[in-house]
Structure 1
């Protein structure tokens, strides 16, 4: 018998794990070979030591070590609810569990204590999926208790973004003092007016005034009094008894900014989505001829028709120059400049850049770069990849050739970081993706290769912050950080929903990932995901007005 026949003799039965679990559940339900009873809140749960030991590290240490419980037939499990313990034991035998808003907290706490990592992970995902202004503070407190830093930071970031809604919830009134201090001192607190912070503090204090009045002076140190209207302050000191008692510290704080108060470094900008493709009621693919204007919550605040000559172009690219949007690509060798403030379109630098699509654009040292992509031969109508790079000189209103890419590529991610351009992955043929990363140095006027991506990528998005470039979208299953200084990659956090064929833009310290395509269901998606670079967390915001993929998204600074 040769080696190949021996290898063919080994194969796996995909039904075996389920059959095995069914067999164990059958033994439990029939009361056979049971050798231990777990107890909680008066409920008794008969089970098998072997199953529990193989299922969780907590029980493995209990039954396989020198603990006295290893010899006991009846064990009291303290600190967990009976219902949660029953669910966790059932999960050991069935691999199934039901999580609801009613049982999430005791189940999460029990899974954490008993080190049931899969269930703990399911609970965290449930809390993320159900995060809202009404639940985020409770999730923050719970995650902090469970020492889940990532979930706690996500909930804190969410609460800061939605302060206007959160401060009106029941959870805000019940927020512990230590958490309230962290909350109102958060630099990311999205308070439109500082009066809202004062009102929130007073609302919290009055909810249990007898107990909380002693904290009022300390909390007021976190308010930016320099941002408050003097007449407003004078009025509440004269009319509000609680404030009158704290008038001394208020007058002291009004003289200068408290060291505990928030900073004022908030980026002001708005997000524009241009073009893209969606699906109508008949499931027919159609182009979207609109510009959608989003606020930093993902809300669509305005819709404007896309300029007809751009609207009829496929796979254009866009970038921001000053406070305007530059658009290139499609079937015409033209470039357009869009002024959002005036809602006007003007031709840019005739003749424009070469006819191309699926390319990239970025601004480097005040100049617009158009890079790579795909074009077609007008005679044979065959598509071909492009390696050319063109630069727009705003002073001369003209386009010039720059050094070509080392590798012709389309469908890539592009970013300007530390005065260099970086091109990530893309297509090097119709069917082949690449993990190559190309870097352009304007001082040397040449492209070079840097460390490749961990895996080949198509349609990835790149956003630069300081000396790092954050990659999202494409076939990535997480936010990937490329450090240009060390030329290395780090995985940051997993995506929340499908994001292939999405677009992304940096607004302040947040990356907004808009739309995309779900290949599992063959449908475009309308989700907006927001990745906070400072906290390393990602959250889901309001959906787009329509499902959208293959669009361009940019951030316009508010001057």
Structure 2
């Protein structure tokens, strides 16, 4: 025993020094009396933290395996006939729904068995597995149930994955159903994506049974949209009739409610007479008959259209055509680009280029083509005329004007194109000439009473109006109107303000004068640029002020698109502007729209109407000037 004790003690005496040397270095006193180690300690740069990147997945995989085997689980989820054992801590960490249930003082927190209601039982197992693994398989036959359950269980990443999956599935045969489903699940991004897809592909959507099976409230909602991508209102009427006839007996009572969504006044009188008036479902319904009569009045009484305005007289965005901004002055001393505005996307895109540099020219639309007239190419005043076809995207030269003109105004009245006033490089002009598209010849007509350059020129009630401008000494308030029947110019009421470089447009039988300047204002160029806008009523021969622009400017391009007055670009005294605003006469307000890509002043802005598109080409624009929806065709 003593030997064993001695032996053990001896071993201890051997091991203790070794332990001491490992656990702490020996210390010694240096010359300054400071204790230090006998050797240098490891530097902090040699420290490291080891991370097992596989650890989270490995552990969660084992925890999931335990759950599958019922080991160490503390809750059983029950959904219909499906029962799943799980760990509360995992569920709480992955789902806000379970977090509230098990940590929020709810009665389920103490239960070992919890029932889940309101979801597809087959969707629960993959979602519980997702809580452990972060992975889930999506298929066409399970994504709807999984998305519904993910929304309830508050698994946002799964919801977003399902939403992205649904976007890939969008098709004319299912987009309406996906939109309704997303709306029910409050998935606003998917709902909006499905809505846009449906509107973009509306002509294919209405051919599918999903559309024909919709309840009337949803059909009303769809047919009321301004954003449907249709070439004309005829497509909307046909969709309405297809839906009614799919279950005629039960749906004929909804005819008037749905017909009110069709913008009948925008259909041609021939179409109304041939396809609508004698429809049995409409013929004997008094409310339908009233809507048809309203449309006929709109066509038979054009002078009363300003009194017949309603949601049914406002064209859908896809049917209004395209707005073109041609040339103008920019920071490069003359833009040659042509930009096109699409009302559906509220955006401008580069569309074409002019054949050469021109400033202070005029543009009008005749037979769906853009006529570029006069201007100057620097110091030289031009009389040349070019024509651009937006369908073929080709330029051709046409016979030149009799007189060289820049700062002229041009417009189309009753077929011929008129070039009004301007400057010939030496003097201000009151002369007017007319281009006959049939003979392709220019001829003089009666001159204006006043010399005018940078005037606004527009058509209203079969007369040509010259508004404001400059006469060489000052800006003008005066306005005169030309009648082609009498070949005479007559003054009408003066504007409230003098305006040179004014933009003009005609909407709902009223003439609008937009912006401009009232003096050179060399010392303060910003001061003379106007924000004020005024409106002329030909019935009362009076001008009245309406809502102001957001920014004072002249050289504004003005045009009418979709029953709105657009003010495009301009010059504020220091900068060429890309700003675009639209005016709603019913609300007397201006609204910011998509900006030009290039800031420009004095751009000629015109609209080519949808009905003048070449039928095979549905991406290019067309034109038509009417007495109550004319556009500004003025050069500055």
Q: Matches of 1:320 and 1:314 in 2, distance apart?
A: 18
Give the secondary-structure state (helix, strand or coil) at the position aligned to 1:362: strand
* Closer/same/farther in 2, CA of residues 197 and 305 from structure 1, 3 Å limit: same
Matches within 5 A, 1:316-331: 316-330=361-375, 331=381
Unaligned regions of 5+ residues in structure 2, if any?
1-171, 188-201, 219-242, 267-314, 376-380, 518-529, 612-636
Instruction: Indicate if the aligned counterparts of 1:389 and 1:405 stay in contact, CA closer than 8 A.
Output: yes
Give the secondary-structure state (helix, strand or coil) at the position aligned to 2:533: strand
Q: Matches of 2:182 and 2:252 in 1, distance apart?
A: 21
Q: Matches of 1:203 and 1:356 in 2, distance apart?
A: 59
| CA deviation map 1:359-388 (0-9, x unaligned) | 100111111000000112xxxxxx310010
Match of 2:355 among 278, 284, 307: 307
Instruction: Indicate if the aligned counterparts of 2:212 and 2:246 stay in contact, CA closer than 8 A.
Output: no
Asked whether 1:233 is paired with 2:211, we answer yes
* Closer/same/farther in 2, CA of residues 194 and 496 from structure 1, 3 Å limit: farther
Match of 2:421 among 372, 379, 401: 372
Give the secondary-structure state (helix, strand or coil) at the position aligned to 2:257: coil
User: Which structure features the higher share of strand residues?
Assistant: 1
Instruction: Indicate if the aligned counterparts of 1:328 and 1:353 stay in contact, CA closer than 8 A.
Output: no
Instruction: Indicate if the aligned counterparts of 1:409 and 1:428 stay in contact, CA closer than 8 A.
Output: yes
Matches within 5 A, 1:496-507: 496-507=550-561
1:558 corresponds to which residue?
610
Q: Matches of 1:299 and 1:344 in 2, distance apart?
A: 24
| CA deviation map 1:196-243 (0-9, x unaligned) | 8887676556559xxxxxxxxxxxxxxx99983342235778xx9xxx
Asked whether 1:527 is paired with 2:579, we answer yes
Give the secondary-structure state (helix, strand or coil) at the position aligned to 1:512: strand
Match of 1:479 among 530, 533, 544: 533
Deviation at 1:450, TM superposition (A): 0.6
Instruction: Indicate if the aligned counterparts of 1:225 and 1:254 stay in contact, CA closer than 8 A.
Output: no
Give the secondary-structure state (helix, strand or coil) at the position aligned to 2:330: strand
2:120 corresponds to which residue?
none
1:64 corresponds to which residue?
none
Q: Matches of 1:303 and 1:405 in 2, distance apart?
A: 36
Give the secondary-structure state (helix, strand or coil) at the position aligned to 2:465: strand
| CA deviation map 1:129-171 (0-9, x unaligned) | xxxxxxxxxxxxxxxxxxxxxxxxxxxxxxxxxxxxxxxxxxx
Instruction: Indicate if the aligned counterparts of 1:357 and 1:374 stay in contact, CA closer than 8 A.
Output: yes
2:382 corresponds to which residue?
332
Asked whether 1:391 is paired with 2:434, we answer yes
Give the secondary-structure state (helix, strand or coil) at the position aligned to 1:233: helix
Matches within 5 A, 1:80-479: 204=183, 207=186, 228-233=206-211, 251=247, 252-253=250-251, 257-259=255-257, 261-264=260-263, 265=266, 266=315, 267-279=319-331, 285-296=332-343, 297-308=345-356, 311=357, 313-330=358-375, 331-348=381-398, 350-376=399-425, 383-429=426-472, 431-475=473-517, 476-479=530-533
Q: Matches of 1:467 and 1:234 in 2, distance apart?
A: 40
Q: Matches of 1:452 and 1:402 in 2, distance apart?
A: 23
Q: Matches of 2:362 and 2:384 in 1, distance apart?
A: 12
Deviation at 1:433, TM superposition (A): 0.6
Deviation at 1:539, TM superposition (A): 0.6
Q: Matches of 1:421 and 1:292 in 2, distance apart?
A: 27
Instruction: Indicate if the aligned counterparts of 1:413 and 1:426 stay in contact, CA closer than 8 A.
Output: yes
Deviation at 1:195, TM superposition (A): 9.3
Q: Matches of 2:324 and 2:563 in 1, distance apart?
A: 17
Unaligned regions of 5+ residues in structure 1, if any?
1-192, 209-223, 241-246, 280-284, 377-382
Give the secondary-structure state (helix, strand or coil) at the position aligned to 1:232: helix
Q: Matches of 1:289 and 1:205 in 2, distance apart?
A: 50
Instruction: Indicate if the aligned counterparts of 1:473 and 1:503 stay in contact, CA closer than 8 A.
Output: no
1:542 corresponds to which residue?
594
1:508 corresponds to which residue?
562
Deviation at 1:477, TM superposition (A): 2.5
Deviation at 1:469, TM superposition (A): 0.8
| CA deviation map 1:341-360 (0-9, x unaligned) | 11111222x34341110010
Instruction: Indicate if the aligned counterparts of 1:480 and 1:491 stay in contact, CA closer than 8 A.
Output: yes
Q: Matches of 1:538 and 1:270 in 2, distance apart?
A: 20
Deviation at 1:256, TM superposition (A): 6.0
Q: Matches of 1:543 and 1:332 in 2, distance apart?
A: 30
Instruction: Indicate if the aligned counterparts of 1:417 and 1:466 stay in contact, CA closer than 8 A.
Output: no
Q: Cα RMSD between the aligned structures?
A: 3.3
Deviation at 1:492, TM superposition (A): 2.1
Instruction: Indicate if the aligned counterparts of 1:225 and 1:253 stay in contact, CA closer than 8 A.
Output: no
Instruction: Indicate if the aligned counterparts of 1:498 and 1:516 stay in contact, CA closer than 8 A.
Output: no
Give the secondary-structure state (helix, strand or coil) at the position aligned to 2:598: coil
Instruction: Indicate if the aligned counterparts of 1:298 and 1:528 stay in contact, CA closer than 8 A.
Output: no
Deviation at 1:253, TM superposition (A): 4.5
Q: Normalised by the size of structure 1, how large is the TM-score?
A: 0.54
Instruction: Indicate if the aligned counterparts of 1:505 and 1:554 stay in contact, CA closer than 8 A.
Output: yes
1:67 corresponds to which residue?
none
Q: Matches of 1:200 and 1:535 in 2, distance apart?
A: 32
| 313-322 or 247-256: bigger deviation | 247-256
Q: Normalised by the size of structure 2, how large is the TM-score?
A: 0.47
Q: Matches of 1:412 and 1:340 in 2, distance apart?
A: 27
